[in-house]
A and B are shown apart, each in its own frame.
Chain A
Amino acid sequence: MSSKRFTKDHEWIDVEGDIGTVGISDYAQHALGDVVFVEVPEAGREIAKGAEAAVVESVKAASEVYSPVSGTVTAGNAAIVDQPGLVNEAAEGAAWFFKLKLANPAELNDLMDQAAYDAYLKTLE
């Protein structure tokens, strides 16, 4: 059972202790098409829930990645900056965008679990 939680904007967050790992969903990478550019936040940046945290650009479009929760960034994933194509290969795994220390874990309750997200995706078809 995945512990991931999802937003309606297709970000995911996986929390271990008080550190959350954030990325974009497999659905999102597929909709974007070949990812050609990624910008991730630097460690130390404070981000509010729903605020722009990262940028992802594909051959079709440029989009913002919004933070699912509030917190302080502890790391950005340099690997996807060097190799944006990783986002297409492993969006919900190795191609995470950033990690952050949660400011308010209760915010997780506003997010969807895997089953709810899958049901949400069905409504988009």
Chain B
Amino acid sequence: MSEPMTISGNRALLIEEKLIFELDNPGSVAIDLPEPAPFDLERLGDAPRRGRVALPDLSEPQVVRHYTRLSQKNYGIDSGFYPLGSCTMKHNPRLSEKVARLPGLADLHPLQPQKTVQGALEVIDSLAHWLKELTGMPAVAMSPAAGAHGEWCGLMAIRSAHEDKGESHRRRVLVPESAHGTNPASAAMCGYSVDPIPALENGRVDVAALKAKLGPDVAALMLTNPNTCGLFETEIIEIAAAVHGAGAYFYCDGANFNAIVGRVKIADLGIDTMHINLHKTFATPHGGGGPGAGPTVLSAALAPYAPVPYVVHGAGGLEMVEGKRAGAKPFGRVKGFHGQFGVFIRALAYIMSMGSDGLRQASSDAVLNANYLLASLKDDLSASFDGPCMHEALFDDRFLKDTGVTTLDFAKAMIDEGYHPMTMYFPLVVHGALLMEPTETESKDTLDQFIAVVRGLAAKAKAGAAEDFKAAPRLTPRRRLDETLAARSPVLRWKPAAE
């Protein structure tokens, strides 16, 4: 395909946008400020500026256009279907946004006297109540700022509990091979060594191998349920009993909670702690639209170690506990102030607008949608495991065998078709993984259109169109980027050409 060239380098209204530093137009300003009054520089001590601040000079319309154009290059859940697996890219309701912008919530300052922010404390307390109710757990640490932060918070509570019992020799954490990469990273951040557990042919944890690895030096098991193959860990009760029998604690990665909300209380599964990604399960923005929030529920055994702050009902109203109280042994503080309050508001608005029946319906629909994808595509792609699945459908690259097309090429071709690709090459337990999570907020029409495109691409690959796939994406402002070079020699900071 020949590429029409333009004089400007732009492609229609897709503007070839420079970095803001390259747009520097010395002397331009957005706002005219009066000359400062004479000032004795001595008063600044060592602080006065020595050179020019390395910021570009730009007028207001230049700045507005630059960031508007950048925002138009973004692809998000508001632009189209976003089937990224293990990410729960569901619609973010505008009602939640409206509530979060109410002046009484949006204009608060975290250092206001507590008696003036009783409503905000009630938001935190009500959300905490819902999260405890949905999981059946007695306590929740609200302040972790995202999923991995919640993992770390849960593991710190586990470590504190072991140390309190004089068992600080427990240094090993068991993590299945299909785990999110954050699990071993969080364990390492807590000073633990990581011991991988293999998966069975059916995509679930090898319980015999797990039991063989349990011992007096094991601090915890970190398990995701449903796991990253989109499968429910059916032996979880037996796993929990074995972990507790060995004196260890059971951490659950709650990234896939969307599949079981209102269906399973994780306390019934023997879990001691689990983080909840509000930005996934409870429909608050994530990806570039974050921040996320990762409240972490705790069992009775771990609750005393919950980090500060937390909200309690006091004599004079709600109180934010910042220090130590009788009976509590908080391991510390994990976040400034009270956590991601703006996310709490959105999550609570979502939960209250859905109601318990709506939440239960949502998890069912999420599972139904994933199974619709799995059933519709299993003969065109290669399904890694026999269905049914939970919230996400996993395929591997056997259907591309001998076509010369890889999972990566397939994903790039999906971009040309106007879709954000699914998660690829994860989980690692299958070859060339393609992991799709539609969530409950996509309509059957959207899924049918997507299925038709994926089927068409699979047929094209099998018909010998490898060259087309290798050339993809062909319709984007930038073609195939050199991801290897970007990883091997990353340029992390713009420098002027002269430097």
Contact = CB atoms under 8 A, between A and B. Distances in A.
Our verdict on whether A and B bind, yes or no, reads: yes
Interface of A: 34, 36-37, 59-62, 84-85
15 contacts: A34-B483, A34-B484, A36-B484, A36-B487, A36-B488, A37-B487, A37-B488, A59-B483, A59-B484, A60-B425, A61-B425, A61-B428, A84-B488, A85-B484, A85-B488
A37 B490 CA distance: 12
A37 B488 CA distance: 7
A59 B428 contact: no
B181 interface: yes
Interface in B443-484: 483-484
Contacts of B484: 34, 36, 59, 85
A124 to B, nearest CB: 9
A34 B485 CA distance: 9
A84 B181 CA distance: 21
Instruction: Determine the interface band of chain B, counting residues with CB < 8 A from chain A.
Output: under 10
B181 to A, nearest CB: 7
A37 B489 CA distance: 10
A88 to B, nearest CB: 9
Given A34-B484, A84-B488, 4 more contacts: A34-B483, A36-B488, A59-B483, A59-B484
Among A34, A37, A59, A60, the most chain B Cβ lie within 10 Å of the Cβ of A60
Contacts of B181: 62
Nearest to B426: A61
A65 to B, nearest CB: 14
B189 to A, nearest CB: 16
A85 B482 CA distance: 14
A67 B425 CA distance: 25
Nearest to A57: B487
A60 B425 CA distance: 6
Nearest to B487: A36
B382 to A, nearest CB: 15
A34 B488 CA distance: 10
Among B428, B483, B487, the most chain A Cβ lie within 10 Å of the Cβ of B487
B311 to A, nearest CB: 39
Contacts of A84: 488
A37 B487 CA distance: 8
Top 4 closest A-B pairs, CB basis? Answer: A36-B487, A34-B484, A60-B425, A36-B488
Nearest to B432: A60
B482 to A, nearest CB: 10
Nearest to A61: B428
A60 B181 CA distance: 12
Nearest to A85: B488
A40 to B, nearest CB: 16
A62 B182 CA distance: 12
Contacts of B488: 36-37, 84-85
Interface string B145-166: 0000000000000000000000
B218 to A, nearest CB: 17
